[in-house]
Every structure is written in structure tokens, then in C-alpha cells.
Chain A
Amino acid sequence: MTDLCKENIKDKDGFETMYLNMGPQHPSTHGVLRLGLVLDGEMIVKAEADLGYLHRGMEKLAEKRTYQANIALSDRYDYVCSMNNNFAVALAIEKLMGVEAPKRAQYIRIIMAELNRVVNHMLFFGFFAMDIGATTALMFGFREREQVIELFESVSGARLTYNYFRVGGVARDLPSDFVQKTKAFIKLMRERLKDYDILVTDNVIFRDRTEGVGVFTKEDCLNYSMTGPMIRACGIKYDIRKDDTYSLYNEFDFEVPVLKNGDCFDRYQQRMLELRESLKIVEQALEKLEPGDIQAKVPKVIKPPAGEAYVRTESPKGELSVYLVSDGSANPYRFHLRAPSFINLQILQKALVGFKVADVIAILGSIDIVLGEVDR
């Protein structure tokens, strides 16, 4: 076990500080994150994170697997949004091979990616409120998630690790009642979002716990390479779907919501706004769906020509990118994942200083990490 915060820090009056170890088993560290905190009374003087408890050597494993098997492996990075991981890896392989999925497959992909964004933000909603002490929200979040998971189950057969994307397309076509069921879900979800606002967003205790807590400035965001809802909540309007568009996202009409305070509440609110935009995208994609192929012609054994590609996608947590190097063989030569959770988490060591122990939970919760992606 790594020693954290070893040096003896004294407070301004010369008194000893207290060292508090938080994790790796702790209900609100969202997995197996370990934090070493140096406390002066209840205030945090220094914080250090210790990672790696869930390290599975994914990048090394990727080098031993075929390209298609890497899509299956990608389900396990951020296990909350497997579809988005599939998307990034499939796009990277296609970029190396120079193939493009047929239109219908691309719309299906976008529907899946955006529905998975809804799942992610629903879980965030539940767990973030839970971290702060509101237990009902978790039940609400899981109830809505269940509906999307059932949709995913009907297309892919799995409830968590979907492995639905293929190089050049998707595994199978949508079941006949998918469109109708999804439309019904969107209608229901819009109704229920109003309940969430009443239950959590406008809740006085929730607001007191989150407003003005853990404020990140624009400079912090740039300096710490943060992406996704984290920077948009600080007032930087940057969304890869719009600004460095991929797949067919440029055909869709959606807003990139931006907030300005950059505190925990804005990061919560940001995700709730993005969720509404995702529903809009799904709705449009369902309208655009036309019968057609779902798979481009690709060889049985995928051997992209030698080369490298850095492919960016907007996952619910931020920029999920894949740096892929091929040497012309059936396995990747190098596979690197730019995991948004890993990079967004770095600011924690700076952001915690000056806040109370109870705020640690709020700030950590608002960053929205999945340890499977942090440790890989």
C-alpha cells in the first residue's frame, strides 16, 4: 500500500494535523478509490489520491486480442456506458481501415450512444444525491435506467456488457417494436424529469450542500485537460459532437447547454440539461431511420494497414479517445485509451483543499467517475 501524504504538516498555529485515510473500501468513493487526507480540524489541508486497485492491464490485454475482441473488451472500461466505449473503439478501427458504416448502422449507433448517456446521467443523478444523503433519488434513477437497459437487452441480449458494435456496423438489426418502445420511453422520461426537479434540483438541503462547493475556474479546466460536462458547467462551450464532429452528429439539431458557476450544483444541473438534449437526438434519429444495411463489407479477419489514428468521441463523462497503432497484423500494436474519468479526477487533489470532509463526498460525486475506467 502506497504511503500518502507522508510529510508532517503543521497548521498555522503550529499544531499537528490529522491524517485521514478514506477508501479503498468506502461506500461513496464510487468503487475502489483511496484518498489520503490531511486535516486541520475539519478542513482539508492536503489531499492525495491512490489509484490502481482495479487495474486489469487493459492496454496490455488489447495487444493480445483481435480487433473485434477489443470491442468486447471495451465494454469493461467504463461499465456504465459500454455502448459509448464500443463506439469509440469501433470508430478507431474503422478509421485505420478506411471503412465507414452504412447510414442505418450509424443512426442505430447514435441512438445507442445517446440512450447510454441517459443511463449514465440517471445513475449520476441517483448516486450524487445518495452521496449527499437523499436516498430516494437512487430508486428513481435506477427505475429509469431499467427501462433503457431493457431496450438494450432487446437489441444486444445483454444487460451490462452489450458488445453490440461491430467493425463497420452493428451486430444485429433493431427488433420490430424497438422504435415504438423507445418513443414511449422518451415521453415517459420527459414527464419524470419534472419529478426530479421537484425532488432534488429544487431541494433546499441539496442546494445548500452543492452551491458554491468545489468551484473550478475556466483556467483550471484548461490546465487540467478536463472535458465533457465538467468544463461545460464552467462556461466553456465545447462538445466534440459539435466542435470535432464524428459519425453523423452534424445532421442533428441539438443544443450544447452551458452553465457558468462551475460548482457542484452546476455540474449536476449540466448533466440534467444534457440528458434532455440526448432525448432530442434519439427522437430525431428514430425519425431518420430508414431500412438498409447495418454492416459494411469488411474482411473476416480484420487486419488494418500499418498506421496510427487518434479518434475522439464525446462520452457521457468527457472525451473518450482511442490512440490505436497498427502494424498490419491481426492484433493492435498499441492501444491507448484516453479515459475521461482518469483525467477529470486529477483536479481532485487541488479542488479538495480548503473544504470540509463532508464536501469531499460532494466534490468527488460531482466529478462522476467510474473506477473501471480510471484504473483500466
Chain B
Amino acid sequence: MDAQEYLTKIKAKFPDVTDVPVEKLKDGIPALSCPAASLFEVVKYLKEEGLNFLLNLCGTDYKEYFEVIYHFTSLENKVKLALKVKLPREKPAVASITPLHAGADWQEREAFDLLGIDFPGHPNLKRILLPEDWEGHPLRKDYERKPDQYD
């Protein structure tokens, strides 16, 4: 199956999944925009259909909203596919895919730590890179660093 077939199949099965305009995707990896509510099901479907390798998971702060991007591939047919989820600025949350891909565990914890995105369903969601008592999420665009002893 090539990437285009995957796209049509996913869109047929999940009507609320839509295309992402290709002008901004410079890497040629096709992307789909997926609502947060159906993400878990879409990832589960992808895994069953052979896109069973999670390459990368990361969040971005676009000021009005957050976006989490998931890159998947298949080691057999080499197809690559990205899923994008838009999350509201207030209380961003999307279901954890750690039950499906154990490799998402620390990547979700990183997004939680640095961007403050909640992943309900994650077995051990706590800060990973920053100390536990750290305040705020540094990769948010409105993050203000507190002066420390070196300032």
C-alpha cells in the first residue's frame, strides 16, 4: 500500500479526519488533521493496517492553539504518514497512545513536561527532563523565565 491508499482508507473510515494543506509540508510526508477525540482510534487502526512504527511525537505552541504531531512509518513498505491534532490553549489534552506504542511513553512525558499537554490514559505522566517542582512549561511561547541567582 502506498501513502495515498492509506489516506483514502483512513478518510473513508473516519469522516472527521481531514487533509492538511500541502504547501507548508516541505518534507513530502503526507499529513492528516485529526480531532483529539478520535486520535486513539485512528492510531489503533493505523497499527492494524501496518503503520506500526511510531517515529516521533512532539508538540508545538502556535499561540492560539497547540498542535501535537505524530509521525508513523512501516518498516515493511516504507510508507510515512503524519497525524496532526489541534488542541485548545486552555486545558490541552489528547488520549495517550502509550498503550498502543510503548515508545510514546517518554515522548508524551516530554510534551507534558515542556508544553503542559495532558495525555489522559498515560500510566506514569510526570515531569521527565525538568525537576518535579518546576513551575510552568518552558516551550510555551508565553513562558517567562524567573530570575535566578545568576541574574
Chain B window 125-151, contacts with chain A (Cβ cutoff 8 Å), 1 for yes, 0 for no: 011111110000011000000000000
Contacts of B131 in A (CB 8 A): 2, 52
A238-B75, A338-B56, A343-B106 known; A307+B130 contact, CB < 8 A = no
**B55 adjacent to chain A (CB < 8 Å):** yes
Asked if residues A310 and B71 are in contact (CB atoms below 8 Å), the reply is: yes
Chain B interface residue count, CB cutoff 8 Å, equals 37
Asked if residues A225 and B132 are in contact (CB atoms below 8 Å), the reply is: no
A224-B103, A306-B24 known; A376+B129 contact, CB < 8 A = yes
**B34 adjacent to chain A (CB < 8 Å):** no
Complex Cα–Cα for A224 and B69 (A): 18
**21 A-B contact pairs sorted by A residue (CB < 8 Å):** A2-B126, A51-B128, A57-B138, A95-B27, A96-B26, A223-B102, A224-B102, A225-B102, A226-B103, A238-B75, A243-B78, A307-B23, A308-B26, A310-B27, A310-B55, A310-B71, A310-B82, A321-B55, A323-B71, A338-B58, A343-B107
Min CB distance B79 to A, Å, is 10
List the interface of chain A (C-beta within 8 A of B): 2, 51-52, 55, 57, 59-60, 95-96, 98, 222-226, 236, 238, 243-244, 306-312, 319, 321, 323, 325, 333-334, 336, 338, 342-343, 345-347, 350, 375-376
Nearest residue, chain A, Cβ from B52:
A222
Contacts of B107 in A (CB 8 A): 343
Asked if residues A308 and B24 are in contact (CB atoms below 8 Å), the reply is: yes
Min CB distance A338 to B, Å, is 4
Complex Cα–Cα for A243 and B76 (A): 10
Asked if residues B138 and A225 are in contact (CB atoms below 8 Å), the reply is: no
**B1 adjacent to chain A (CB < 8 Å):** no
Complex Cα–Cα for A203 and B59 (A): 47
Asked if residues A55 and B130 are in contact (CB atoms below 8 Å), the reply is: yes
Asked if residues B129 and A236 are in contact (CB atoms below 8 Å), the reply is: no
Contacts of A52 in B (CB 8 A): 127-131
**B54 adjacent to chain A (CB < 8 Å):** yes
Complex Cα–Cα for A321 and B120 (A): 27
Nearest residue, chain A, Cβ from B60:
A334
Contacts of B55 in A (CB 8 A): 225, 310, 312, 319, 321, 338
Nearest residue, chain A, Cβ from B23:
A307
Complex Cα–Cα for A2 and B130 (A): 10
